[in-house]
Structure 1
Amino acid sequence: MDMVAGHSQTQPPALERISSISRQIWADKYRLKSDGGTPMDITIEDTWRRIARALAAVEAEPALWESRFYTALEDFKFLPAGRIIAGAGTDRRVTLFNCFVMGDIEDDLGSIFSHLREAALTMQQGGGIGYDFSTLRPKGAVVKGVSADASGPLSFMDVWDAMCRTIMSAGARRGAMMATLRCDHPDIEAFIAAKREPGRLRNFNLSVLITDAFMAAVEADADWPLVFGGTTYRTLRARALWESVMRATYDYAEPGVLFIDRINKRNNLYYCETIHSTNPCAEQPLPPYGACLLGSINLAALVREPFTPAAHLDEEALTELVAVAVRMMDNTIDASGFPLEAQHQEAMAKRRIGLGLTGLADALMMVGLRYGTPKAAEAAERWAREVNRAAYIASARLAAEKAPFPLYEQAAYLAGETVRELDADVRALIGEHGIRNALLTSIAPTGTISLLADNVSSGVEPVFAHSFVRKVTEPDGSKREELVEDYAVRLYRAKFGAEAKLPDYFVTAQTLTPLEHIRMQAALQRHVDSAISKTVNVPADIPFEAFQEVYFEAYRQGCKGCTTYRPNAITGSILSVAPEPASDAEAVAAAAAIPVEPNHSPIPRPGKLAGSTYKLRWLDNEHAMYITINDIEEAGRRRPFEVFISSANMEHFSWVVALTRMISAVFRRGGEVAFVADELKNIFDPRGGQWSGGRYVPSLIAAIGGIIEQHMIETGFLTPGGHADHQPHVANLSAPAGALGMICPQCNQPGVTKDGGCLNCHQCGWSKCS
């Protein structure tokens, strides 16, 4: 009997079996619709069929493999990355690859802007990109032949940042960017501090390329030279530079660190490529023009007899599923388009894929293990080992059928540090047939697709919240609230009752220690040939010395990088809610009880105010603009109260009036108004901005925001680092399981968390990275 038909006869359609948030994610992000908005995928089963058919089309027996691919997709057992789900079988000009690292940027202006164009074309098709800016000479270096000094890599990063905003304004899918810089580049200190400037480089994730030599110098408290082109620009203490990296990420959650020597030593393709950047979430270290597609095995879907003494992961089913998934992903390379021909050639030459895991935390709970414990790490490592082993076996068998990847060199490949650690029978199989895919495993963030898969835990992260209340807008505009529960929590309560108390092994990210996070990451990394996107959540009050130790421990335990998140007034705090309710009714009641800061009434305007007027000339406009900012005195402290903007250019009249009235209305209500300047500074004009004061200002409104920020600093309301004197309250990170997260920029609800190195909203599925 056909497996697909047999399944459909015994269960209701998937739409009737999954949570409403999963249905919404499917409808909003992945359901195929015509250009006019008419649904083409009527059910989720139609989406699975569309993907299966598209990826089977390259096979000699497409009907056979379509059936097998459908079965793998069915019930979310295998989750291709979002771009595959949304794009496969649509005949639209999109790439099915999630991530790219762009080419090396030669240190001349023509090359720089040629690469900017390539980045724009890649992001237009929805690809996230990584760039290493270490090849650009430092700020102040002489540019021979033009009697000028170099502006440095950060100035060009500003240009990339503006390009990204422009691409997104044109309606393209959001594509995040990664920027890396070597720890010995002369501009490394400016790179580390870049995000202390409000609004700067907001479309980039930043990571420092940390070498083994640097870590040894930190340990020895030795001198560390900053070098470019063979010239040492200056020398500083390695430990001081390390502490500046740590202090920035302690305060701002960036930059991350990538242990670049380890990445290259353990790369299967060490013999034909050098890596110096990654995709935006860092699970894919890639060479120039490297491309990788992603997919995840849903471990939670493979647990049998959950919450019983006999609970176990079906490892036989896991092995079979991995083999089908590898074939699907290999076929995707041939089925996908590419923004650039160089990316196409690179993908074909190496046939890299990144098969990973999701639902790990749920699977652990379902078999009675507490995430972060040695036993849980042991189980996770065993499952990762099985995925890795099955993937290499499947790829070797594919090589026997379809040929190895073109740059395969048997002696060199088998001598690789990672390949040497494979089981002897797997190495023998590779020796006999070669291997189809140069690298096979990678663990990516799965924020949105894990929500699609009935809200399973994301990637290899712990569960962030067992349940939360989500606000839903009905078609008539009315609002309602619904309880959203984690997949494993919902199964447990379906089995034992809505009032059942969750066992101790149902932990959340807030109840784990940082070293428990690292233990899990290190255990998994031992059986992943690329890298892992993982966020180590740390409490807001963690001492700085203990925070640094997290990174040292990640290095000692063999991780390829480390990303942490410490909630504070700058990065965003965790909102505490009442202890986890036992029922839907209590959940809604608890949500209603969350304390809300009352709105301030406008303060009456005094008869006389102190203020300043600033002159602003924009582009080649003959008329200058004048911005007047008046302040009010409160308890001996000045704060902005109103803004007036005057311009003789009548083209600006209507929006100038609207802008000044809105800003003044916000200022007159008091409270924390520093965000106004930051919001304005992020506004960009698709027609372009201008250079001012050595940096790129993306729009006239952004320039006005800069003046407002400058005024706040001059009056003492805002410190140069971007902190208002009065800091908002930061809740304790040891929040209960109902903690919601930061405010989402799309749905304006609390639900944004950082997991897998990426900000994701659990309310609406918004993601910074997809």
Structure 2
Amino acid sequence: MDRFAAPVSAQIWDMKYRLKSPEGAPIDATVEDSWSRVAQALASVEADPAAWTPRFHAALEDFRFLPAGRILAGAGADRSVTLFNCFVMGTVPDSLEGIFAHLREAALTMQQGGGIGYDFSTIRPKGAPVRGVAADASGPLSFMDVWDAMCRTIMSAGARRGAMMATLRCDHPDVLDFIDAKRDPVRLRNFNLSVLATDPFMAAVEADGPWELAFDGRVYRTLPARDLWNAMMRATYDVAEPGVIFIDRINALNNLSYCETIAATNPCGEQPLPPYGACLLGSINLARLVPEPFAEGAALDEAALEGLTADAVRMMDNVVDASRFPLPQQAAEARAKRRIGLGVTGLADALLMVGERYGSEGAAALTGRWMALISRAAYRASARIAGEKGAFPLYDRDAILAAPHVAALDDETRALIAENGLRNALLTSIAPTGTISLYAGNVSSGVEPIFAASYTRKVLQKDGGRTEEEVVDYAVARWRALRGRDAPLPAWFVDAQTLSPADHVRMQAAAQAHVDSSISKTINCPADIDFESFKDVYGLAYASGCKGCTTYRPNAVTGSVLSLTADAPAEASAGVVAAVSPAAEDAAPTREAATGGDVVYMARPLERPEALPGATYKLKWPDSAHAIYITLNDVIVGGRRRPFEIFINSKNMEHYAWTVALTRMISAVFRRGGDVSFVVEELKAVFDPRGGAWMGGRYVPSILAAIGGVIERHLVEIGFLEGEGLGLKTDPEAQAVRVGERPGGPGCPACGSTNLHMTEGCATCGDCGFSKCSG
């Protein structure tokens, strides 16, 4: 375990990437075994696997190259899962039969662990006539609700939930409803939303001109373009969505513009893809390529970067042949173009190690240099592989050489492409790396700044208890090791909350100039930023050459940022350690059994030990004079904690009969063992005909549903379920809280912790490493 830079890294490996038997027994004894498994699996498609296996192993060693989590967990595992991260589904036809056929395809894709993107612009607007049935269309948002409901019922492979992206064109008649959809705190929680902004629309905004909303040749409405733009900016200011995708720029710069048209992206936006497009991801860990961090003249080893890039390209190209695919159309698309998305992680840490402040002009210039080196090395490697194995089937020499990204490469690289072709149509992308960054020693994620120098993590133990440990950013840990634990951090150490939006955009644009696909990045803004300062962020991104933009500002609908506790390390006091985000809510559609709480089936009730661990919660229903106290006690079975009994009490005697009945019935169910999560489902489905209540920004249909939420939260906390609690977060009088505990924000969907932060369009949990958007 000394390979790991931090305890959290070993825990992430054991929980997510270590190969185990169906019974949970480890097959990978060490992380070296995991590297060997992946290296052998990816070398198996080579003509001489024995020659390439050690080279691939060397690339993986010490976390230098980080294939995405699906590859780390699935390669060589003989599981029916896809190793691809990203899919855009087929074009949705404007017919009921076609729509539901595509719904089925989405379910099959998410079942195997794929995140999906959809363009709903092809569905006629709300109120449009439906010929032959004498009815009006319900519009694309109504069908997005159907997709959203489907996602809540699908468990993705490896206990992951399917993430979804929905796009709508800026000229669709329902675009204003789409823009405001997430103002409803319970609607479309499984989607990220982005508006497809065209070049003519951006020109109309600049000129303050009119803009037509039209479908199938009919103009439904004309409005000032700036009104639509301001509506979009106001919504993203208020509720952190929608994002924006500059779709004409994406298509104009696409290497494959001669044979495909793009209208959607994967859930986090780093992969613009055509219908049935598929892409796999991997990241070079720049933090491991600075041999003498913080020394005078410290620099990244550029020769090592080029060599590692070449090996990473070959490994990822082999994944195309080694992977399964949910649908035959996806397999055909992937093999015809052999897209890969090689990116980076640890950028901010690497910049810190060489003395550059993230967001500065110097840091942007260095980022551009490193990304240019990666791009050149990747294209050269792909051309050499093409000379050996053949170019991708849809390769067109003249069209590829004329593509803007290829045209900007140096003459030597272009000559190599002209001679050999390209093995991969597109090669670079910067994806979310929240979980694999933790696995690699808590390096900074993707191209994001570090979020906090350090934070305290709560760890669930096998006996059901929790311990606390400090998690330190990789660069900070290296600084401490060299300078001493109490050495103050240099002035160039900054985090996401101390940067201006312009700093974020500058870094995104610097990387985008040398990335042929796109980038997943969140521009974190402080809660108190005024709208006038905020509203120019998307415009700045467009002017800077970005292909899209996503922001996050803490707000009343999606949640607020929680500051560090008073006893947190001094160097992190300016940062934050938890943010409740749209992605946090998006990531938790349903409940499921966690690896720490496997289903145990029993013929006889469990016997009660003399002492049981447990917790008591206080639930204050808004219209009730008295609180309800709920005590849940647990039993340890096979080293794992599961619910055993419940006690529901209230001073209100009107509640006496039904609380006693619930106490007895639920306790009897718990003592029988098995999968008792249905108790939560049944209680949360109870609607009071007199009406429910809004609690912390969410509608709870009855007091029984609120009790179900308390039980759910407890089951998440003990590791029995991998779902979120009720997510109550504001008024202490309208929350269920553990007695003696302060109310917190919505919980991580995997472990219930509120230690979430927003990065790369995703909420990442600092306690368990959960990230909706990455493996």
TM-score range, shorter chain: 0.7 to 0.9
1:350-499 residue pairs with structure 2 within 5 A? 350-499=337-486
**Separation (CA, whole Å) in 2 of partners of 1:372 and 1:559:** 15
Aligned pairs, number: 666
Q: CA deviation at 1:673?
A: 4.9
Per-residue CA shift, 1:372-415, capped at 9, x if unaligned? Answer: 00001111110000000100000011111111111111111111
2:110 match:
123
**Separation (CA, whole Å) in 2 of partners of 1:396 and 1:511:** 42
Structure-2 change in CA distance of 1:681 and 1:220 (3 Å): farther
Aligned mate of 1:300, from 281, 287, 309 = 287
2:676 match:
none
Per-residue CA shift, 1:652-700, capped at 9, x if unaligned? Answer: x987999499999xx99x99555352899999x9xxxxxxxxxxxxxxx
1:182 match:
169
1:261 equivalent to 2:229? Answer no
2:720 match:
none
Structure-2 change in CA distance of 1:437 and 1:580 (3 Å): farther
Equivalent residue letter for 2:753: Q
2:763 match:
759
Aligned mate of 1:677, from 700, 708, 732 = 700
Aligned mate of 1:51, from 23, 27, 38 = 38
More displaced 10-residue stretch of structure 1: 101-110 or 66-75: 101-110
Contact 1:297–1:357 (8 Å) recurs in 2: yes
Structure-2 change in CA distance of 1:568 and 1:534 (3 Å): same
Q: CA deviation at 1:747?
A: 2.3
1:619 match:
none
1:220-369 residue pairs with structure 2 within 5 A? 220-369=207-356
**Separation (CA, whole Å) in 1 of partners of 2:303 and 2:682:** 64
Contact 2:37–2:76 (8 Å) recurs in 1: yes
Structure-2 change in CA distance of 1:504 and 1:472 (3 Å): same
Q: CA deviation at 1:506?
A: 1.0
Q: CA deviation at 1:583?
A: 8.6
Describe the SS at the equivalent of 2:211: strand
2:189 match:
202
Contact 1:130–1:280 (8 Å) recurs in 2: yes
Equivalent residue letter for 2:452: A
**Separation (CA, whole Å) in 1 of partners of 2:122 and 2:705:** 28
More displaced 10-residue stretch of structure 1: 565-574 or 485-494: 565-574
Q: Unpaired runs of 5+ in structure 1?
A: 1-13, 592-597, 609-640, 686-704, 706-717, 729-739
**Separation (CA, whole Å) in 1 of partners of 2:560 and 2:243:** 19
Q: CA deviation at 1:582?
A: 5.3
Q: CA deviation at 1:744?
A: 2.1
1:354-753 residue pairs with structure 2 within 5 A? 354-578=341-565, 659=683, 673-675=696-698, 677=700, 743-753=747-757
**Separation (CA, whole Å) in 1 of partners of 2:564 and 2:392:** 52
Contact 1:645–1:660 (8 Å) recurs in 2: no
**Separation (CA, whole Å) in 2 of partners of 1:282 and 1:521:** 13
Q: Structure 1 runs of 4+ off > 6 angstroms?
A: 598-608, 641-646, 653-658, 660-664, 678-683, 722-728
Contact 2:685–2:705 (8 Å) recurs in 1: no
Per-residue CA shift, 1:521-545, capped at 9, x if unaligned? Answer: 0000000000000100111111112
Describe the SS at the equivalent of 2:47: coil
**Separation (CA, whole Å) in 2 of partners of 1:741 and 1:362:** 29
**Separation (CA, whole Å) in 1 of partners of 2:622 and 2:515:** 63
Q: CA deviation at 1:725?
A: 13
The TM-score, its normalising length taken from structure 1, stands at 0.81
1:40 equivalent to 2:27? Answer yes
Per-residue CA shift, 1:545-586, capped at 9, x if unaligned? Answer: 2111111110000000000000122222121225785599x9
The TM-score, its normalising length taken from structure 2, stands at 0.80
Per-residue CA shift, 1:128-169, capped at 9, x if unaligned? Answer: 000000001111111112212111111111111111111139
1:696 match:
none
1:631 match:
none
Contact 2:480–2:487 (8 Å) recurs in 1: yes
1:83 equivalent to 2:70? Answer yes
Structure-2 change in CA distance of 1:756 and 1:680 (3 Å): farther
Structure-2 change in CA distance of 1:656 and 1:309 (3 Å): closer
1:218 match:
205
Aligned mate of 2:85, from 83, 95, 98 = 98
Q: CA deviation at 1:449?
A: 0.4
1:626 match:
none
More displaced 10-residue stretch of structure 1: 218-227 or 434-443: 218-227
**Separation (CA, whole Å) in 1 of partners of 2:114 and 2:219:** 37
Contact 2:185–2:557 (8 Å) recurs in 1: no
**Separation (CA, whole Å) in 1 of partners of 2:559 and 2:698:** 13
Q: CA deviation at 1:423?
A: 1.1
Per-residue CA shift, 1:228-278, capped at 9, x if unaligned? Answer: 111111111111111111111111111100000000000000100000000
Structure-2 change in CA distance of 1:262 and 1:658 (3 Å): closer
Describe the SS at the equivalent of 2:206: helix
Per-residue CA shift, 1:268-295, capped at 9, x if unaligned? Answer: 0010000000000000000000000000
Q: CA deviation at 1:36?
A: 1.2
Contact 1:413–1:419 (8 Å) recurs in 2: yes
CA RMSD of aligned residues (A): 3.7
Q: CA deviation at 1:465?
A: 0.6
Equivalent residue letter for 2:332: Q
Q: CA deviation at 1:743?
A: 4.0
Q: Unpaired runs of 5+ in structure 2?
A: 578-615, 627-652, 667-678, 709-725, 736-743
Q: CA deviation at 1:442?
A: 0.2
Equivalent residue letter for 2:754: P
Structure-2 change in CA distance of 1:546 and 1:28 (3 Å): same
Q: CA deviation at 1:745?
A: 3.0
Contact 2:358–2:492 (8 Å) recurs in 1: yes
Structure-2 change in CA distance of 1:376 and 1:644 (3 Å): farther
Describe the SS at the equivalent of 1:308: coil
**Separation (CA, whole Å) in 2 of partners of 1:371 and 1:607:** 53
**Separation (CA, whole Å) in 1 of partners of 2:201 and 2:567:** 45
2:126 match:
139
**Separation (CA, whole Å) in 2 of partners of 1:370 and 1:16:** 29
Equivalent residue letter for 2:26: P
Contact 2:683–2:704 (8 Å) recurs in 1: no
Equivalent residue letter for 1:477: G
Identity score, percent: 62
Equivalent residue letter for 1:242: W
2:772 match:
768
Equivalent residue letter for 2:760: G
Structure-2 change in CA distance of 1:73 and 1:607 (3 Å): closer
